[in-house]
Amino acid sequence: MSKIGNYRLILTVSMLLLSLVAVQSKNRVKETTTLEALVQVAAEDDQQVRMKPGVYALDEYLTEERLAHLLTQLPPQTKEQRRPPRWFLRFSGSNNTFDFTGVTIEINTELYSKLPYGYMRCVFIDGDGNTIKGLTVKNTGPEDKGSNGNIFTVFGNNTLIQDVKLYVRGSSYGYGDLFGKGGPVLTHLQKQSGIMVGQNNTLKRCKVFSQAFGHCFYIQTHGHDTRDILLEDCYAEGATRSTNDMLAERGGIAEKLNYRSVYQNRDGRYIITPGYTKSLSEDGFRTYGGVGKVTLINCTAENTRAGFEIGGTNDAENRTVLQGCQAIGAERAFLLGSNVQVRDCRGDIQYGPLLYLRENTVGADVELELIPGMPKSMVHTIATIAGKNHRVRLYTNAPKVPMPALPVMLGFGMPAHAEMSSPILPMETENVVLINELEHMVVIKSNEANNTEVQSPAPILQNSETQKIGGRGKW
């Protein structure tokens, strides 16, 4: 072989060896044993990282020196970004896999006050192409301190989050949204939410256990793309409390506010109304208007305000799809907007309706199974249906199990703010197909419902028929 041939052979072998070393280096697992080391590797790229199992307290890591350094990294408040992100742990690197199996990170709620005003995102993933699995995050510290933000934000593109658990505490807790949530408010709630999800990301087998007023899982644009999002086998859990219990309370916030509420009840009073049950959190799964393609598969919400509140927009290019989801013990199981498709989903009516299909919406295609059983507190309806160009099928797979004879209300909007103690009023409805397979649930149709098709084994009544006594005779 010539000298040139030998040179080429040596060069080729060397390049192969260098490539092999690069691959081995990329696949080598980095072991981390401290939060300090985690912060460092979370800013780098192309790594396999495994953290030693154990409990890591954030307040022990954030010394005054480290906190001062963190403050220099936070973006400033501007006119364009009035609530810039604030984080404790940031994953800004890309194409990493983090194995947190057996790892718990504790976030003391006292830490929130140490960061400046902004949108708190305690664990902030904004790098691309990352996988994070097995992490548990738990709030410690005072139960009445929230951040008005969330524990976990996923904004990086093409991110996989799996088997992550959050145990959320904080906020003015114990009354749900009775004192307001956006405006007006009777007291400062210090909301504390769970997981916020951005573009092209997948969450699998993630769980949020909330003891705070805030959403468990939510998808909101907030200056970021929200398209091609998948949540699969995820679980949201809140807690409930009866309004009777709130009214019997002495020494708490309710008594200090003279048991008032921001919601007007059916008597015209702005007061906590007995006989109902409130979720103490916000929604299990929430999407806001303006989001892109979102799919939820086999997700479950229990004891949340809405199990699934899906705010699809009228001009959405893609439908939000719910497949195999269920809502148990919610104030309202499914609160749906435009361009939503629901299949093989189910919910109960322990504390509220199965469905609100809200007013001024279009193009929903909904099939919902009613889980049989009697309500445990005041419930007024199985469903209210408003909007245009919808198809709704309501059914049960256990027709022989006793259930209350509550109406399905066509041409009615949800009560104001979806508060059950507020009146249910007629609302413009057009071109709706309703297939009611619930044998004992009459359909009440308002005069606002036009060009509708109703299939029902139970009677179909005009609203005016239910507001007068028919027949003749004298008392």
* pLDDT tens-place string over residues 150-189: 999 999 999 999 999 999 999 999 999 999 988 899 999 9
**DSSP string covering 374-385:** --SS----SEEE
* pLDDT tens-place string over residues 415-461: 999 999 999 999 999 999 999 999 989 999 999 999 999 999 999 99
* pLDDT tens-place string over residues 113-135: 999 999 999 999 999 999 999 99
- Domain coordinates of the chain in residue numbers? 35-241+277-466
Number of other residues whose CB lies within 10 A of the CB of residue 419: 22
The token pair that represents 341 in the structure block? 């498709």
Q: What is the pTM of this model?
A: 0.93
Q: Are 199 and 171 in contact (CB under 8 A)?
A: no
The answer to whether the Cα torsion of 273, 275, 283, 208 is positive or negative is: positive
Q: May I ask the CATH class of domain 35-241+277-466? A: mainly beta
Q: What is the largest CA-CA distance in the chain?
A: 122
CA distance 49 to 42: 9
Is residue 466 helix, strand or coil?
helix
User: pLDDT-derived band of residue 210, with 50, 70 and 90 as boundaries?
Assistant: very high
